[in-house]
């Protein structure tokens, strides 16, 4: 039962963060293309705020994982700790191939709030990688919840 609750909580959090990523990504692409559309400023502001909060939280856990010999994060939300552990492992393995694993979290947070045209392609690419990582992480929780049926 406890694992069900953890999985359900992680699913809800991941849905919200992925939706925030989608809001920011759509805005960045439309802005970059000079498309004619109405920006929902409140939605964009909230999405940026939530994503920055999540990245900051992940950053602190990744720092703990990096200092641990086995990349383990103890005493925290287990699924977020697991995400930090996976992130650290990926960073060690493929930092040269991926923008997400080579950029600092502070720079990532700066980009999330950026309206500079020249920074948007990098932001779009980073958001794509971050979303993909979260979707993969989410998959096991969805299987856990629906697999019990």
Partner 1 sequence: MQSILEHVNWKLIRDVESLVCSLKKAQIPTELHHYRDLVLEICEDVEQRAQRNLSRIELLDQVDIIEDILSETQIAMQLRRSLSSILAPPVLRASQRDRLSLLIIN
Q: Return the number of the residue (81 or 141) whose C-beta is nearest partner 1.
A: 141
Which positions from 9 to 38 touch partner 1 by CB under 8 A, shown as an x/- string? Answer: --x---x--xx-xx--xx--xx-xx-xxx-
DSSP state of 76: S
CB 17 within 8 A of CB 58: no
Rounded to a whole number of angstroms, the distance between the first and last alpha carbons of the chain is: 13
CA distances in angstroms from 11 to 7, 76, 89, 106, listed in the order given: 6, 17, 22, 25
Number of residues near partner 1 (by CB under 8 A): 22
Given candidates 77, 91, 114, 131, which one binds partner 1 under the rule CB under 8 A? 131
Residues that bind partner 1 (CB under 8 A): 11, 15, 18-19, 21-22, 25-26, 29-30, 32-33, 35-37, 128, 131, 135, 142, 145-146, 149
């Amino acid at each position: 039962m406890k694992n069900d609750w953890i999985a359900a909580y992680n699913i809800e959090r991941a849905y919200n963060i992925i939706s925030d990523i989608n809001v920011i990504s759509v805005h960045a692409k439309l802005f970059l293309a000079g498309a004619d559309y109405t920006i929902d400023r409140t939605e964009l502001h909230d999405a940026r705020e939530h994503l920055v909060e999540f990245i900051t939280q992940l950053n602190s856990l990744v720092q703990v994982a990096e200092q641990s010999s086995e990349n383990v994060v103890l005493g925290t939300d287990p699924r977020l700790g697991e995400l930090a552990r996976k992130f650290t492992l990926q960073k060690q393995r493929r930092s040269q191939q991926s923008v997400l694993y080579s950029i600092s979290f502070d720079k990532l947070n700066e980009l999330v709030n950026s309206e500079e045209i020249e920074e948007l392609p990098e932001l779009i690419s980073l958001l794509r990688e971050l979303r993909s990582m979260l979707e993969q992480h989410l998959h096991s929780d969805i299987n856990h919840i629906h697999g019990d049926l």
